[in-house]
Amino acid sequence: MAKRSWLALFLCAALVFTVVGCSSATTKKGGFAAGLVTDTGGLNDESFNQSAWEGLEKAKKDYGVDIKALESKSDDDYIPNLTKFAREGRNITWAIGYKFDKAIPDIANQFPDAKFGIVDSDLGGKIPKNVTAVTFKEEEGSFLVGVIAGLTTKTNKVGFIGGVTSPLIKKFEVGYIAGVKAVNPKATVSVAYAESFADAVKGRSLAQSMYNNGADIIFHAAGGTGKGLFDEVKTREKGKYWAIGVDRDQSNLAPDHTLTSMVKRVDVAVYNVTKELKDGKLKPGQHVVMGLKENGISMADKHVSPDVEKKVEEYKQKIISGQLKVPSTEAELANFKP
Amino acid sequence: MQQLFSRMNKMSTFLASLISIVLGMLIGAIMMVAAGYNPLEAYNALFVSALFQPYDLGETIRTVTPLLLTGLAVAIAFRTGLFNIGVEGQFIVGQMAAIIVGLKLPLPSGLHAVAAVIAGGLAGAIWAYLPGLLKAVRGVHEVIITIMMNYIALYLSNAVVFHLLAPGADSTEKIPDSASLRVQWLSDLFGGARVHLGILIALAAAFVMYVLVWRTRLGYELRAVGFNPLAAEYAGMNVKKSVILSMMISGAFAGLAGAVEALGTNGYLPIMNDFTGIGFDGIAVALLGANTPVGVILASILFGVLEYGGGNMQFEAGVPFEVIRVVFAAIILFVAANIVEKIFHSRRKKGVKTNA
C-alpha cells in the first residue's frame, strides 16, 4: 500500500511537469538580434570573450540590438550552442575564438539562411557565404610596441616570449623585431617559445634567464604563460626592468613594471561588424582584417615617455597611411627596410 | 513465493531510484525559487527542449551515448567489488587511440570505423589492466591508482596531440569520413543532429554486460568475487584473474565510450584543459542504475536529458546550468544514502508489527 501511494505521488509530480509544459512562449522582437557563443574560457575570462561581449553590450546601448550569450562548457557544446541561436533566427551569431574553426563551416552549411561571425580565424581562406571572419593585424601593434621597446631600452637588449610556435604568434614576433630594428638597429632581440599558453612557471623561467642575460624589456604573446613574465618582473628593480602586455591592458598584473600593452580591440571589431551588418553595409562571406587604421589595435600607455610617444605616433601615421608596410612573416622580415 | 519476493525487491529498488529523482528535482526547484527563478518554467524548458524536437532529441541521444557506456563500465567493475574511478582516464585513452587510428591508418570505409572503435576499446582495457594487476598482485587499492592514472591519461593525450598529431595547433585535423560513426540518414532523421551509430554500440554493450554477468560462468565468478572474495577463493575460484578481467572489461567499455564520442560527436581531438567529466558522470549513472544494464540505460537517459536539456534551460528560462549539477548531486545523494529504503523499511516493520 505504501508503495502505491509513492507511485501516485510520482505520477502526480510527472503530470504537473508535463501539463505546465505548453505555456512557455519566447516572443521575438522585430529588431536586430545578435547572439554570442564563448569558447571554453567563458564570459569573464578577462580576455577576448569578455571584450567581445562588451562590444555587443555597446551595440545594445547604442542601437537597441537584442543580445544574448551562451557559454560553452566543453568543445562538445560549440555546435549545439551555435544551433540554438541559428534556430532562434538571430541576425548574427558570434563565435569567439579560433577554436570554432571546425564548428563554424559545418554549422554555416547547415543553416544557410543564418549569419555567423568568427573572431581570430580566417577559416583557412574558405569562408562560407554567410560567415564573416575577423582577424587582426597583430604585427602592426607589435611593431609599435617594438618601437617603444627599441627607444626605451638602456642595455640594447630586449626579449620576446611566445606561446606556441604558430603563424599567429610569429606575426607578433616578426612585427616586434621589425619595430625594434626600425628605431634601434644596434639592439638585439632574444626570442623564446614556451610551447604552451598555460604554463606560467615556464614563462617565468624564460623571463628570468632573459633578464639575467641583460635584456631590460620583454614583450609576450603567450596567454596564461605570460603571467610568469609579470611575476618575474615584479621582483626586479622599478624603472629598470619592464614587461609589455598583450591582448588587453595588463598593467594590473604589475602596475609599476608594465611599460605598455598591445591591445586587441575585439570589442571594436564585434561592434563594428554587427553594426555594419545591421545597416546592410557589410556583405557576409568576407574576411575583415582589423589593423591600426580600423582601430582594431591600440596601445595602453602606462610608463612610456613623451618623446617616445611622439615617435610612436609618427610610425602609427605611416602605417595607417600605407607608407610603411609591417612584415608579418619571417620572409617579409628579411626584406624589411624601415 | 520466493520469486514474488525477489520481484518485489527489484520493484522497490526501481521505485527508490524514481523517488530519489523526484526528491533531487525538488531540491533543485527549491534552489531555483530561492534564487528567484520559476522552477516550473525551468523544468518545462528542460524537458520540452530536450525531447520534443527532432534535432534536440538527436542531440540528447548523442549526450546519452557515452554516459551509457561509462555507466556500464563503472557498473561491471562494481559487480566484482571494484570501484573504478579511472573510467575518465580510460575514456580519454580510448578517445586518443580511436583518433590515432582514424587519422593515421588508411583503411577502406566501414572497416576503418570498426578498427578505430576496437582500438579505443583495447586502449581502455590496457589502461585499466595496470590498476587491476596491481590490485590483484600487490593489493594496492584501485581507487588510488585509477585516480592517478586519470591524470596520466589526460596529459598523455595532450602531449600526443601536441607533439605527434597536430604540432603547433590546438586540436587535430578532422578524421576522414571513412572513420566517422556519423551516417547521413540518421542525422537527417534527427534534423541534422550529431546523433551517431555509437548509440547502437552502447546498447549492444549493455546486452553484452547482461549476458556476460548473469549468463556465463565467468560472470558468476565475477559476481562471487564481488560478494565475498575470500569465499570465492575458498570455493576454488581464481580471484586475481577475476579482478584483472573485471577491470579490463570495465576499461574496454570506458574506452569504447571515448572512441564513439571522438569518432561520432566531434571527429577530432582537442588539447584538453580539464577532464571531460563524462567518466565521472558514469559513476553517478551506475549508482542510480543499481549496477544493472537496464538500470544503467534508464539512468543514462535521465542524465543525458538533464545534461542536454540543462543547456536549453539556461537558454530559454535563464536559469544557470549549475542548478542542474545540484539536481545531479542531490539525486546521487538520495540514492547513495539510501534514504528512500530507510523510509520503506521503517514502514514495513511497522506493518509487520500491526499484523502480528
User: What string of DSSP letters covers B256-300?
Assistant: HHHHHIIIIIISS-BPPSS--SHHHHHHHHHHHTTT-HHHHHHHH
Q: Is B55 on the interface with A (CB under 8 A)?
A: yes
Q: How much is the pLDDT for B5?
A: 62
DSSP character at residue B76:
H
**Is A20–B22 a contact, with Cβ atoms under 8 angstroms apart?**
no
Torsion of the alpha carbons at A166, A171, A174 and A177, rounded to the nearest 10: -120
Let me know: does A263 contact A299? Beta carbons within 8 Å: yes
pLDDT attached to residue A99: 85
Question: How distant is the Cα of B40 from the closest Cα of chain A, in angstroms?
Answer: 7
Residue segments in chain A with a per-residue pLDDT below the cut of 50: 1-3, 7, 9, 11-29
pLDDT value of residue B26: 93
Which single residue is written with the C-alpha cell 547572439? A35
The pLDDT tens digits of the residues spanning A87-128 come to 888 999 999 988 898 899 989 998 998 999 999 888 888 899
Report residue B3's pLDDT band, with 50, 70 and 90 as the boundaries: low
**A246: which strand partners?**
A262
Output the CA torsion sign for B335, B339, B340, B346: positive
Interface test with A, best of B40, B323, B344 (most A CBs within 10 A): B40
For residue B11, list chain A residues with Cβ-Cβ distance below 8 A.
3
What per-residue confidence (pLDDT) applies to A27?
36
Min Cα distance A56 → chain B (Å) is 18
What is the model's pLDDT at position B324?
86
| Pairing of β A92-96 and β A66-70 | unpaired
| AA identity, residue B316 | E
| Three cell numbers written together for A267 | 570589442
**In the structure, how many helices (H) and strands (E) does chain A have?**
11, 12
- Yes or no, beta carbons of B312 and A84 under 8 Å apart: yes
CA-angle at B144, arms to B138 and B145, nearest 5°: 65
User: Which stretches of chain A sit within 8 Å of chain B by CB?
Assistant: 2-3, 6-7, 9-10, 13, 16-18, 20-21, 23-24, 26, 40, 68, 70, 73-77, 79-81, 83-84, 87, 98-99, 102, 110, 164-166, 195, 198
**pLDDT score for A14:** 47
At A257 the pLDDT is 93
Cα distances (Å, whole numbers) of residue A140 to A188, A223, A226, A289, A297: 20, 19, 20, 12, 8
Q: How far apart are the first and last CA of chain A?
A: 91
Q: Which residues of A touch B314 (CB under 8 A)?
A: 70
CA distance A88 to A93: 10
Q: B21: nearest CA in chain A?
A: A10
Model confidence, pTM: 0.80
Count of other CB atoms within 10 angstroms of residue B31: 17
C-alpha cell at A313: 605616433
pLDDT-derived band at B346 (thresholds 50, 70, 90) equals: low
Domain ranges in chain B?
Answer: 40-319
Cβ contact B47–A20 (<8 Å): no
Rounded Cα gap, residues B315 and A310, in angstroms: 49
Q: Rounded to 5 degrees, what angle do the CA atoms A153, A159, A160 make?
A: 135
Checking if the pLDDT of B38 tops 80, the result is yes
* Nearest chain A CA: its distance from B138 CA (Å): 36
What CATH number has the domain spanning B40-319?
1.10.3470
Inspect the interface and report whether the beta carbons of B321 and A9 lie closer than 8 Å: no
Q: Looking at CA atoms only, how far is residue B110 from chain A in angstroms? A: 23
Is the Cβ pair A24, B44 closer than 8 Å? Answer: yes
Domains and CATH numbers, chain A: 33-136+267-290 (3.40.50.2300), 138-263+305-334 (3.40.50.2300)
Given a cut of 80, whether residue B339 has pLDDT beyond it is: no
Q: Pick the closest to residue B61 from B289, B303, B269 (CA basis).
A: B303
DSSP-based three-state secondary structure for A242: strand
Q: pLDDT over 70 for what percent of chain B?
A: 92
What's the half-sphere exposure (Cβ side, CA atoms, 13 Å) at A138?
A: 23
Q: In 3-state terms, what secondary structure has residue B15?
A: helix
CA angle A258, A259, A261 (to 5 degrees): 80
Tell if the CB–CB gap between A102 and B314 is shorter than 8 Å. Answer: no
C-beta separation of A36 from A88 below 8 A: no
pLDDT in tens, B289-305: 999 999 999 999 999 99
pLDDT at B318: 81
Closest alpha carbon to B115 in B263, B297, B311, B266: B263
φ, ψ of residue B139 to 5 degrees: the values are 70, 20
- Whether the CB of B51 is below 8 Å from some CB of chain A: the reply is no
Nearest CA in chain B to A193: B168
Say what the pLDDT of residue A2 is. 47
Interface test with A, best of B269, B315, B324, B350 (most A CBs within 10 A): B315
Q: Which residues of A195-226 are buried (b: 16+ CB within 10 A; e: fewer)?
A: bbbebbebbbebbbebbeeebbbbbbbbbebb
Alpha-carbon span A41 to B273, nearest angstrom: 10
A163 compared with B74, residue with greater pLDDT: B74
